[in-house]
Structure 1
Amino acid sequence: MNFTPRILILPGLGNSGEQHWQSIWERQYPDFSRINQQNWDNPVCRDWIEQIDRDVMAGDPSNVILVGHSLACTAIAYWAQTFQRTIRGALLVAPSDTEADTYPPGTTGFIPVPLLNLPFPSTVVTSTDDYYVTLSRATFFARSWGSKLVVLDAAGHINAGSGYGNWPEGLALLRELDTGTVS
Protein backbone atom coordinates (compact mmCIF):
# COMPACT_ATOMS: atom_id res chain seq x y z
CA MET A 1 0.00 0.00 0.00
CA ASN A 2 1.51 3.32 -1.07
CA PHE A 3 0.58 6.70 0.33
CA THR A 4 1.01 9.92 -1.62
CA PRO A 5 0.93 12.47 1.25
CA ARG A 6 3.56 13.01 3.92
CA ILE A 7 2.43 11.01 6.93
CA LEU A 8 3.52 12.54 10.24
CA ILE A 9 3.15 10.32 13.30
CA LEU A 10 2.39 12.01 16.64
CA PRO A 11 2.58 9.77 19.70
CA GLY A 12 0.95 10.77 22.95
CA LEU A 13 2.20 11.06 26.50
CA GLY A 14 5.32 8.93 27.01
CA ASN A 15 5.87 8.34 23.26
CA SER A 16 4.90 5.11 21.45
CA GLY A 17 6.97 1.99 22.11
CA GLU A 18 8.30 -0.49 19.57
CA GLN A 19 5.15 -2.68 19.64
CA HIS A 20 2.72 0.24 19.20
CA TRP A 21 0.96 0.41 15.83
CA GLN A 22 2.47 3.88 15.20
CA SER A 23 6.01 2.48 15.50
CA ILE A 24 5.13 -0.57 13.41
CA TRP A 25 3.72 1.67 10.67
CA GLU A 26 6.92 3.70 10.66
CA ARG A 27 8.96 0.54 10.12
CA GLN A 28 6.58 -0.71 7.40
CA TYR A 29 6.48 2.63 5.58
CA PRO A 30 9.86 4.39 5.53
CA ASP A 31 8.21 7.58 4.24
CA PHE A 32 6.22 7.93 7.48
CA SER A 33 8.04 10.07 10.01
CA ARG A 34 7.59 10.75 13.70
CA ILE A 35 7.31 14.22 15.12
CA ASN A 36 9.77 14.04 18.00
CA GLN A 37 8.95 16.07 21.05
CA GLN A 38 11.60 17.28 23.49
CA ASN A 39 9.63 16.14 26.52
CA TRP A 40 7.43 13.06 26.19
CA ASP A 41 6.75 12.62 29.92
CA ASN A 42 5.96 16.16 31.12
CA PRO A 43 4.75 17.83 27.94
CA VAL A 44 4.01 21.51 27.54
CA CYS A 45 1.28 22.14 24.95
CA ARG A 46 2.92 25.23 23.45
CA ASP A 47 6.19 23.31 22.88
CA TRP A 48 4.34 20.39 21.30
CA ILE A 49 2.27 22.49 18.89
CA GLU A 50 5.29 24.56 17.84
CA GLN A 51 7.14 21.32 17.01
CA ILE A 52 4.11 20.05 15.07
CA ASP A 53 4.09 23.29 13.07
CA ARG A 54 7.82 23.11 12.31
CA ASP A 55 7.45 19.57 10.96
CA VAL A 56 4.28 20.35 8.98
CA MET A 57 5.86 23.46 7.44
CA ALA A 58 9.06 21.61 6.49
CA GLY A 59 7.26 20.71 3.25
CA ASP A 60 3.97 21.37 1.53
CA PRO A 61 1.39 21.44 4.37
CA SER A 62 -1.48 20.68 1.98
CA ASN A 63 0.12 17.26 1.42
CA VAL A 64 0.33 16.27 5.12
CA ILE A 65 -1.75 13.79 7.09
CA LEU A 66 -1.22 13.82 10.83
CA VAL A 67 -1.64 10.54 12.72
CA GLY A 68 -2.16 11.29 16.40
CA HIS A 69 -2.65 8.98 19.35
CA SER A 70 -3.97 9.90 22.80
CA LEU A 71 -2.67 13.28 24.03
CA ALA A 72 -1.47 14.04 20.49
CA CYS A 73 -5.14 14.37 19.42
CA THR A 74 -5.58 17.28 21.81
CA ALA A 75 -2.25 18.71 20.67
CA ILE A 76 -3.43 18.57 17.05
CA ALA A 77 -6.62 20.43 17.99
CA TYR A 78 -4.57 23.12 19.77
CA TRP A 79 -2.20 23.29 16.78
CA ALA A 80 -5.15 23.71 14.37
CA GLN A 81 -6.67 26.42 16.56
CA THR A 82 -3.36 28.30 16.87
CA PHE A 83 -1.85 28.02 13.40
CA GLN A 84 -4.89 27.55 11.09
CA ARG A 85 -2.92 25.50 8.55
CA THR A 86 -4.64 23.67 5.73
CA ILE A 87 -3.48 20.07 5.66
CA ARG A 88 -4.80 17.00 3.90
CA GLY A 89 -6.24 15.45 7.05
CA ALA A 90 -5.77 13.88 10.47
CA LEU A 91 -6.35 10.44 11.94
CA LEU A 92 -7.07 10.99 15.65
CA VAL A 93 -6.90 7.72 17.57
CA ALA A 94 -7.94 7.28 21.22
CA PRO A 95 -8.24 10.97 22.08
CA SER A 96 -7.61 11.46 25.79
CA ASP A 97 -9.85 13.58 27.94
CA THR A 98 -7.30 15.86 29.57
CA GLU A 99 -10.10 17.39 31.66
CA ALA A 100 -11.02 14.06 33.32
CA ASP A 101 -10.00 13.20 36.86
CA THR A 102 -8.49 9.95 35.56
CA TYR A 103 -6.01 11.71 33.27
CA PRO A 104 -2.40 11.36 34.48
CA PRO A 105 -0.74 14.48 35.90
CA GLY A 106 2.36 16.07 34.40
CA THR A 107 1.00 17.89 31.36
CA THR A 108 0.86 21.65 30.99
CA GLY A 109 -1.54 23.66 28.84
CA PHE A 110 -3.73 20.87 27.44
CA ILE A 111 -6.87 22.06 29.27
CA PRO A 112 -9.50 22.76 28.13
CA VAL A 113 -9.78 20.43 25.15
CA PRO A 114 -10.28 22.70 22.11
CA LEU A 115 -13.76 22.33 20.65
CA LEU A 116 -13.39 23.84 17.20
CA ASN A 117 -14.35 22.52 13.80
CA LEU A 118 -10.98 21.41 12.44
CA PRO A 119 -10.07 23.13 9.16
CA PHE A 120 -9.26 19.80 7.48
CA PRO A 121 -10.87 16.34 7.14
CA SER A 122 -10.42 14.11 10.16
CA THR A 123 -11.39 10.76 11.60
CA VAL A 124 -11.64 10.06 15.33
CA VAL A 125 -11.23 6.44 16.40
CA THR A 126 -12.29 5.56 19.93
CA SER A 127 -13.17 2.54 22.01
CA THR A 128 -16.14 1.62 24.16
CA ASP A 129 -13.82 1.01 27.13
CA ASP A 130 -10.91 3.47 26.92
CA TYR A 131 -9.72 4.38 30.42
CA TYR A 132 -8.61 7.84 29.27
CA VAL A 133 -11.90 8.94 27.66
CA THR A 134 -15.54 7.95 27.92
CA LEU A 135 -17.39 7.09 24.76
CA SER A 136 -19.68 10.09 25.26
CA ARG A 137 -16.73 12.49 25.57
CA ALA A 138 -14.94 11.02 22.54
CA THR A 139 -18.18 11.35 20.57
CA PHE A 140 -18.49 14.96 21.75
CA PHE A 141 -14.89 15.69 20.64
CA ALA A 142 -15.52 14.13 17.21
CA ARG A 143 -18.69 16.18 16.69
CA SER A 144 -16.97 19.38 17.86
CA TRP A 145 -14.01 18.75 15.57
CA GLY A 146 -16.26 17.89 12.59
CA SER A 147 -14.68 14.44 12.43
CA LYS A 148 -15.94 11.13 11.18
CA LEU A 149 -16.35 8.87 14.24
CA VAL A 150 -15.30 5.22 14.33
CA VAL A 151 -16.09 3.28 17.52
CA LEU A 152 -14.24 0.03 18.27
CA ASP A 153 -15.79 -2.40 20.73
CA ALA A 154 -13.68 -3.12 23.84
CA ALA A 155 -10.41 -1.91 22.28
CA GLY A 156 -9.04 -0.18 25.39
CA HIS A 157 -6.68 2.68 24.60
CA ILE A 158 -6.02 1.29 21.09
CA ASN A 159 -2.35 0.72 21.82
CA ALA A 160 0.05 -2.20 22.19
CA GLY A 161 -1.23 -2.88 25.72
CA SER A 162 -4.71 -3.38 24.22
CA GLY A 163 -3.41 -5.75 21.55
CA TYR A 164 -3.05 -3.16 18.80
CA GLY A 165 0.33 -3.80 17.25
CA ASN A 166 0.03 -4.11 13.50
CA TRP A 167 -3.34 -2.48 12.87
CA PRO A 168 -4.50 -2.94 9.25
CA GLU A 169 -7.95 -1.45 9.95
CA GLY A 170 -6.22 1.76 11.02
CA LEU A 171 -4.26 1.80 7.77
CA ALA A 172 -7.56 1.50 5.90
CA LEU A 173 -8.84 4.58 7.75
CA LEU A 174 -5.62 6.39 6.88
CA ARG A 175 -6.15 5.38 3.23
CA GLU A 176 -9.62 7.04 3.34
CA LEU A 177 -7.97 10.32 4.36
CA ASP A 178 -5.34 9.86 1.65
CA THR A 179 -7.92 9.33 -1.08
CA GLY A 180 -10.36 11.92 0.20
CA THR A 181 -13.14 9.40 0.80
CA VAL A 182 -13.83 10.23 4.46
CA SER A 183 -17.57 10.61 4.80
Structure 2
Amino acid sequence: MRSESIRYLIVPGWHGSPDEHWQTHWQRTLPNSARVEQRDWIAPRREDWVAELERSVADSAAPVILVAHSLGCITVAHWAAQAPIELLDRVRGALLVAPADVERSGCAEPLRNFAPIPRQPLPFASQLVGSDNDSAASAGRAVAIGGDWGSEVAILPGAGHINAKSGHNSWEQGFAYLYRLQSRIGREARKRA
Protein backbone atom coordinates (compact mmCIF):
# COMPACT_ATOMS: atom_id res chain seq x y z
CA MET A 1 0.00 0.00 0.00
CA ARG A 2 1.46 3.35 -1.02
CA SER A 3 1.40 5.97 1.71
CA GLU A 4 0.42 8.72 -0.78
CA SER A 5 -2.98 7.09 -1.26
CA ILE A 6 -3.78 7.17 2.46
CA ARG A 7 -4.94 10.00 4.72
CA TYR A 8 -3.41 9.58 8.18
CA LEU A 9 -5.78 10.99 10.78
CA ILE A 10 -4.02 11.69 14.08
CA VAL A 11 -6.47 11.21 16.98
CA PRO A 12 -4.95 12.63 20.19
CA GLY A 13 -6.08 11.86 23.70
CA TRP A 14 -6.92 13.99 26.72
CA HIS A 15 -5.12 17.38 26.64
CA GLY A 16 -4.21 16.84 22.97
CA SER A 17 -0.69 16.09 21.80
CA PRO A 18 1.81 18.90 22.48
CA ASP A 19 4.70 19.75 20.16
CA GLU A 20 7.02 17.25 21.85
CA HIS A 21 4.54 14.31 21.54
CA TRP A 22 5.21 11.59 18.96
CA GLN A 23 1.80 12.21 17.34
CA THR A 24 2.85 15.77 16.49
CA HIS A 25 6.17 14.50 15.12
CA TRP A 26 4.34 11.92 13.03
CA GLN A 27 1.90 14.52 11.73
CA ARG A 28 4.88 16.50 10.43
CA THR A 29 6.54 13.33 9.05
CA LEU A 30 3.74 11.28 7.48
CA PRO A 31 2.57 12.41 4.05
CA ASN A 32 -1.06 13.50 3.75
CA SER A 33 -1.72 13.60 7.51
CA ALA A 34 -4.11 15.70 9.55
CA ARG A 35 -5.14 15.99 13.19
CA VAL A 36 -8.61 15.57 14.60
CA GLU A 37 -8.96 18.85 16.51
CA GLN A 38 -11.31 18.76 19.47
CA ARG A 39 -13.03 21.90 20.71
CA ASP A 40 -12.28 21.04 24.35
CA TRP A 41 -9.15 19.05 25.17
CA ILE A 42 -9.48 19.53 28.96
CA ALA A 43 -13.11 18.58 29.65
CA PRO A 44 -13.83 16.03 26.91
CA ARG A 45 -17.40 15.03 26.12
CA ARG A 46 -17.71 11.68 24.37
CA GLU A 47 -20.46 12.85 22.00
CA ASP A 48 -18.41 15.87 20.89
CA TRP A 49 -15.21 13.90 20.39
CA VAL A 50 -16.98 11.16 18.42
CA ALA A 51 -18.76 13.76 16.26
CA GLU A 52 -15.47 15.52 15.48
CA LEU A 53 -13.83 12.23 14.50
CA GLU A 54 -16.81 11.51 12.23
CA ARG A 55 -16.48 14.94 10.59
CA SER A 56 -12.78 14.37 10.00
CA VAL A 57 -13.35 10.98 8.37
CA ALA A 58 -16.21 12.38 6.27
CA ASP A 59 -14.00 15.27 5.10
CA SER A 60 -11.32 12.92 3.75
CA ALA A 61 -11.49 12.14 0.06
CA ALA A 62 -8.79 9.46 0.48
CA PRO A 63 -8.96 6.21 2.47
CA VAL A 64 -8.03 6.74 6.12
CA ILE A 65 -5.72 5.17 8.66
CA LEU A 66 -6.42 6.36 12.20
CA VAL A 67 -3.42 6.95 14.49
CA ALA A 68 -4.89 7.22 17.99
CA HIS A 69 -3.40 7.68 21.45
CA SER A 70 -4.95 7.17 24.89
CA LEU A 71 -8.49 8.61 25.03
CA GLY A 72 -8.29 8.89 21.24
CA CYS A 73 -8.34 5.07 21.10
CA ILE A 74 -11.56 4.97 23.11
CA THR A 75 -13.00 7.69 20.87
CA VAL A 76 -12.24 5.51 17.83
CA ALA A 77 -14.05 2.54 19.40
CA HIS A 78 -17.12 4.62 20.27
CA TRP A 79 -17.20 6.10 16.77
CA ALA A 80 -16.83 2.69 15.09
CA ALA A 81 -19.72 1.32 17.17
CA GLN A 82 -22.19 3.82 15.72
CA ALA A 83 -20.71 5.21 12.48
CA PRO A 84 -22.56 4.88 9.18
CA ILE A 85 -21.25 2.10 6.94
CA GLU A 86 -20.21 4.51 4.18
CA LEU A 87 -17.81 6.22 6.60
CA LEU A 88 -16.58 2.98 8.15
CA ASP A 89 -15.72 1.82 4.63
CA ARG A 90 -13.30 4.76 4.30
CA VAL A 91 -11.20 3.54 7.24
CA ARG A 92 -8.58 0.98 6.28
CA GLY A 93 -7.20 0.52 9.77
CA ALA A 94 -6.26 2.00 13.13
CA LEU A 95 -3.05 2.14 15.14
CA LEU A 96 -4.24 2.33 18.75
CA VAL A 97 -1.49 3.34 21.18
CA ALA A 98 -1.74 3.25 24.99
CA PRO A 99 -5.55 3.06 25.24
CA ALA A 100 -6.94 4.76 28.33
CA ASP A 101 -8.90 2.36 30.53
CA VAL A 102 -11.75 4.73 31.37
CA GLU A 103 -13.35 1.97 33.48
CA ARG A 104 -10.43 1.64 35.91
CA SER A 105 -10.72 2.73 39.51
CA GLY A 106 -9.09 6.10 39.98
CA CYS A 107 -9.79 7.17 36.40
CA ALA A 108 -9.82 10.95 36.12
CA GLU A 109 -13.36 12.34 36.41
CA PRO A 110 -13.34 14.15 33.01
CA LEU A 111 -12.76 10.81 31.23
CA ARG A 112 -15.49 8.80 32.91
CA ASN A 113 -18.18 9.80 30.41
CA PHE A 114 -16.30 7.65 27.86
CA ALA A 115 -17.22 4.51 29.88
CA PRO A 116 -18.22 1.85 29.20
CA ILE A 117 -15.62 0.94 26.60
CA PRO A 118 -17.22 -0.62 23.51
CA ARG A 119 -16.48 -4.34 23.38
CA GLN A 120 -17.41 -5.26 19.80
CA PRO A 121 -14.70 -5.95 17.22
CA LEU A 122 -13.67 -2.97 15.14
CA PRO A 123 -14.85 -3.24 11.53
CA PHE A 124 -11.34 -2.55 10.20
CA ALA A 125 -7.83 -3.85 10.83
CA SER A 126 -6.21 -2.60 14.02
CA GLN A 127 -2.92 -2.78 15.88
CA LEU A 128 -2.97 -2.00 19.59
CA VAL A 129 0.29 -1.08 21.34
CA GLY A 130 0.32 -0.95 25.13
CA SER A 131 2.92 -0.99 27.87
CA ASP A 132 3.54 -3.14 30.92
CA ASN A 133 3.81 -0.06 33.17
CA ASP A 134 1.16 2.31 31.81
CA SER A 135 -0.85 3.94 34.61
CA ALA A 136 -3.75 4.53 32.18
CA ALA A 137 -4.20 0.81 31.41
CA SER A 138 -2.47 -2.26 32.78
CA ALA A 139 -0.96 -4.70 30.31
CA GLY A 140 -3.75 -7.16 31.12
CA ARG A 141 -6.44 -4.59 30.39
CA ALA A 142 -4.73 -3.51 27.16
CA VAL A 143 -4.62 -7.15 26.02
CA ALA A 144 -8.29 -7.63 26.96
CA ILE A 145 -9.40 -4.45 25.19
CA GLY A 146 -7.37 -5.38 22.12
CA GLY A 147 -8.91 -8.84 22.14
CA ASP A 148 -12.42 -7.39 22.27
CA TRP A 149 -11.63 -5.08 19.37
CA GLY A 150 -10.01 -7.83 17.26
CA SER A 151 -6.68 -6.00 17.29
CA GLU A 152 -3.23 -7.45 16.98
CA VAL A 153 -1.67 -6.56 20.35
CA ALA A 154 1.89 -5.69 21.32
CA ILE A 155 2.91 -4.88 24.90
CA LEU A 156 6.12 -2.90 25.24
CA PRO A 157 8.31 -3.27 28.34
CA GLY A 158 8.75 -0.15 30.47
CA ALA A 159 7.25 2.29 27.93
CA GLY A 160 4.89 4.06 30.34
CA HIS A 161 2.00 5.86 28.65
CA ILE A 162 3.96 6.06 25.37
CA ASN A 163 3.90 9.84 25.36
CA ALA A 164 6.35 12.72 25.73
CA LYS A 165 6.46 12.31 29.52
CA SER A 166 7.71 8.73 29.10
CA GLY A 167 10.32 9.86 26.56
CA HIS A 168 8.44 9.02 23.35
CA ASN A 169 8.95 12.28 21.49
CA SER A 170 9.48 11.02 17.94
CA TRP A 171 8.86 7.33 18.74
CA GLU A 172 10.57 6.01 15.64
CA GLN A 173 9.98 2.43 16.89
CA GLY A 174 6.25 3.07 16.51
CA PHE A 175 6.55 3.30 12.73
CA ALA A 176 7.25 -0.46 12.73
CA TYR A 177 3.75 -1.01 14.16
CA LEU A 178 2.24 1.32 11.58
CA TYR A 179 4.02 -0.55 8.79
CA ARG A 180 2.89 -3.87 10.27
CA LEU A 181 -0.69 -2.60 10.24
CA GLN A 182 -0.37 -1.39 6.65
CA SER A 183 1.05 -4.76 5.57
CA ARG A 184 -1.91 -6.50 7.20
CA ILE A 185 -4.32 -4.13 5.41
CA GLY A 186 -2.58 -4.93 2.10
CA ARG A 187 -2.76 -8.70 2.70
CA GLU A 188 -6.47 -8.51 3.56
CA ALA A 189 -7.17 -6.40 0.45
CA ARG A 190 -5.39 -8.96 -1.76
CA LYS A 191 -7.45 -11.79 -0.24
CA ARG A 192 -10.68 -9.95 -1.11
CA ALA A 193 -9.54 -9.16 -4.65
TM-score range, shorter chain: over 0.9
Encode CA deviations 1:53-82: one digit per residue, 9 max, x unaligned: 111011246x10001100011110000001
> How many residues align structurally?
181
Question: Structure 1, unaligned stretches of length 5 or more?
Answer: none
Separation of aligned partners in 2, 1:152 and 1:91: 15
Specify the alignment match of 1:70 in structure 2.
Answer: 70
Alignment-derived partner of residue 79 in structure 1: 79
Q: Aligned match of 1:156 in 132, 157, 160?
A: 160
CA RMSD in angstroms, aligned pairs only: 1.7
Residue 106 of structure 1 aligns to a residue whose secondary structure is helix
Residue aligned with 1:40, SS: coil
Q: Give the Cα separation in 1 of the matches to 2:109 and 2:93.
A: 29
Alignment of 1:10-159 (within 5 A): 10-29=11-30, 31-60=32-61, 63-83=63-83, 84=85, 85-86=88-89, 87-107=91-111, 109-159=113-163
Identity of aligned residues (%): 39
Q: Distance in 1 between matches of 2:24 and 2:112?
A: 25
Which structure is higher in helix share? Answer: 2
Structure 1 segments of 4+ aligned residues over 3 angstroms from their partners: none
The TM-score, its normalising length taken from structure 1, stands at 0.93
Q: How far apart are residue 26 of structure 1 and its match?
A: 1.3
Amino acid at match of 1:56: V
Deviations 1:1-60 (A, max 9, x none): x72310000110000111110001112235211000001011011111111011101124
- 8 Å Cα contact 1:102/1:132 also seen in 2: no
Superposed CA offset, 1:63-105 (max 9, x none): 1000110001111000000105121000000001001123211
